Amino acid sequence: MTETTTATAATEVRQPGLLSRIIGVIFSPRETYAAVAARPRWLGVMAITLVIGVAATYVMLSSPEMQDAAFDQALARIQAEPSDQQVATIETFISNMPLIYAAASFIVGPLFVAAIAGLFVWIFSMLMGGSGTFRQVFAIVAHSGVISMFSGVFSAALIAAGVPPTGAQPPSASNPSKKLHTNHRAFIGKSLTLAVSKR
């Protein structure tokens, strides 16, 4: 009985804090996602990833190079010669685009995470017979947002340093750190499997 209590206390002590989990998603994703599945916490990491991610994207969308690229892309989609009113509308929208994106992200972001988590829970529970909870999967998906956050910060730093965007692409499409997402897919998949597997 004493040994069991001691082991349980040691496990609780080893639970990583918020900063450790954010760093762990990048440098030790397997252990971090396993810890998140064991004790699902999501509010802190979601708040940080949303604030920093939105700030990074605001920097990118506010840069003259990115706005010029978006303007050229919008004009290219108009088949005929654009009128002065169309040009003015496009310019107004692009100038307000950073604020529009920021406001929408705080609303759509959590809903998107919830939708993805619900989809994974349905797949693993209905098709694979898992018994994980929505809270576990929601926390894992929320922590995966750390990858996008760091990618956005890296891209914003490049834009701020004067590196021009590649063509008229959205920030994520020309992201030099896109490979980071691919490297973590296997870890995220395994963590989701761990969260919803039978115990």
Q: Is the pTM of this model over 0.85?
A: no
pLDDT at 46 over 50: yes
| 24 located within any domain | no
Q: Which residue has the higher pLDDT, 73 or 126?
A: 73
Question: CB atoms < 10 A from the CB of 98, how many?
Answer: 19
Residue 70 amino acid letter: A
The 3-state DSSP class for residue 166 equals coil
User: Residues 6 or more apart from 185 whose CB is under 8 A from it?
Assistant: none
Does the pLDDT at position 179 exceed 90? Answer: no
Domain of 80 in residue numbering reads as 29-196
Number of domains in the chain: 1
pLDDT band of residue 42 (cuts 50, 70, 90) is: very high
Contact 188, 36 (CB under 8 A): no
Whether residue 60 lies inside any domain: the answer is yes
pLDDT at 10: 43
Phi and psi torsions of 39, nearest 5°: -140, 85
Q: Does 13 reside within a domain?
A: no
Q: pLDDT, tens digit, for every residue of 89-137?
A: 988 999 999 999 989 999 999 999 999 999 999 888 877 767 778 999 9
Look up residue 143 and give its two tokens: 């922590």
Q: Give the percent of the chain with pLDDT over 70.
A: 74
Query: Dmax over Cα atoms in the chain, in whole Å?
Result: 80
The secondary structure element, H or E, covering residue 140 is helix 134-160
Q: How confident is the model at residue 193 (pLDDT cuts 50, 70, 90)?
A: low
Residue with tokens 């004009």: 75
| Residue 2 lies inside a defined structural domain of this protein | no
Minimal CA–CA distance to 141: which of 172, 103, 109?
A: 109
pLDDT the model gives residue 2: 47
Distance of alpha carbon 26 from alpha carbon 150, whole angstroms: 9
3-state secondary structure of 7: helix
Residue written as tokens 């998906």? 141
| Other CB atoms within 10 A of residue 182 CB | 8
